[in-house]
Every structure is written in structure tokens, then in C-alpha cells.
Amino acid sequence: MAKGTMAVTWTGDIYPCQLYIKSKWKMGNLRSINFNNPNKQLKSILIKVDNLKKSKNDKCLKCWIRKICNGCIARYSDEIHPIPEAFCNFQKKYCEYVIAKLAELKSDEKKWSNFISNIFNKKG
């Protein structure tokens, strides 16, 4: 679950993520929720959400791409255990591809310079 994001339905119901729009994950409603003084249900859900972090998942903690992985493990934490190997393999292959492409760019000074220039001088 992305840090600092939530899903809000058209009725104002609040959930920790768009993948968790289920009654057991309902955090409250925009009209009545008080994040400064959370009720028991909200506290319970916030604790569950906190426990879904990669920094608390043994498999993620041992993974070589743990600091650059952009995969959302929360989608597997509610109903599918453990995180499917195919999901992790895809994330690893994607990171390998990006690292290889960056190394290729870095080996050509002109391409690297253009790449960096495009990142920092993005227009539009």
C-alpha cells in the first residue's frame, strides 16, 4: 500500500487502498472519521496496514531488490499467501532490465548526457 494514500468511494467511505474496498477494511466515512482520535476499528485497520509493509515481510527483507522494488505486496496479503514467486520474479527481472539499460546508457557519454538532460530539463 502506498504510503499516505487511501481510497474513497462515492459515498465517502474510506479504505486503506483501492485493492481493499471490502467491508472488513472500511476505516470510516468522510462525514464522521476523526484521524486525530481514531476509534477501535480504525486503530485495528491502521495496525494491519502497517504490518503489510515490505519492511515487515521476511521474504522482502531478504530480497536483493528490496530498496528499489515497486511491487505492491498488499494485494497478496489479504487472501493469497504467500506472495507468489511469479510476482517476485517479475519485479526482479524488471529491475535487472532497468539496471542493464542504465549501464548501457552510462557506457556512452553522449547518450548518458542526453538521458540526464532529459530527466532534469523535462518540459510539458
Cα-flanking dihedrals φ and ψ of residue 29, to 5°? -130, 145
What's the confidence (pLDDT) of residue 50?
83
Q: How large a percentage of the chain has pLDDT more than 70?
A: 90
How confident is residue 113, by pLDDT bands cut at 50, 70 and 90?
Answer: very high
- pLDDT tens-place string over residues 72-100: 877 776 554 678 889 899 999 999 999 99
- pLDDT tens-place string over residues 23-35: 888 888 988 888 7
Q: Counting every residue, how long is the chain?
A: 124
Query: What b/e readout covers 36-50, taking b as 16+ CB neighbours within 10 angstroms?
Result: eeeeeebeebeebbe
For 4: left if phi > 0, alpha if psi spans -120 to 50, otherwise beta; the answer is: left
Q: Which cell is 60 given?
A: 522482502
Asked if 63 and 30 count as a contact pair (C-beta separation under 8 A), the reply is no
Q: Which cell is 47 given?
A: 495496525
